[in-house]
Amino acid sequence: MVTIGPSRWQGRGHCPTDNPITSLKAGKTTLQVEIAANNEARQCGLAFRDRLPPDAGMLFVHAEQQRLRFWMKDTRIPLALAFVDTDRRITEIHQLTPDMGQQDVRSSQPVRFALETNPYWFDTNQVSVGDRLIFSLPDDLVVE
């Protein structure tokens, strides 16, 4: 089980934002997503941000499928979270709010990816469990 939780950025009031970016298509909509492919980026996620543009998100990438766990500590904005398997199919979708704090949300099965977007983004864009995400990872991306 991988935990996306506190990191060395905790208490600093900011996280690195120099993550690589890729386009991700879900249904008929395209998002520009930051890629969190190492422990530091995954642990920090979207914490300390005051807003997320409507066409943006964060894609959490792992080298292998595993059960994931997320929480909202230090996250100021509500989010939607989709767990995504190796075939890039959405396995489940959750709505997260800042008041959840350290209450965690766990994937019910092993997954390789997680996608965070604005709240209710999946509903608004008619994207649901079973839908496939289309994206390419940079050739030089190192997944740790």
DSSP state letter for 108: S
Q: Are strands 2-4 and 68-70 parallel, antiparallel or unpaired?
A: parallel
CA distance 23 to 5: 26
* The pair of three-digit structure tokens given for residue 68, joined into one six-digit string: 């994931």
Superfamily of the domain at 19-132: Protein of unknown function DUF192 (2.60.120.1140)
Closest CA to 68 of 97, 31, 36: 36
| Alpha carbon distances (Å) from 143 to 35, 97, 133 | 10, 28, 19
Q: Tens of pLDDT along the chain (144 residues)? A: 333 333 333 444 567 668 999 999 999 999 999 999 998 899 889 988 899 999 999 999 999 999 999 989 889 999 999 999 999 999 999 999 999 988 899 999 999 999 999 999 999 999 999 999 999 999 999 998
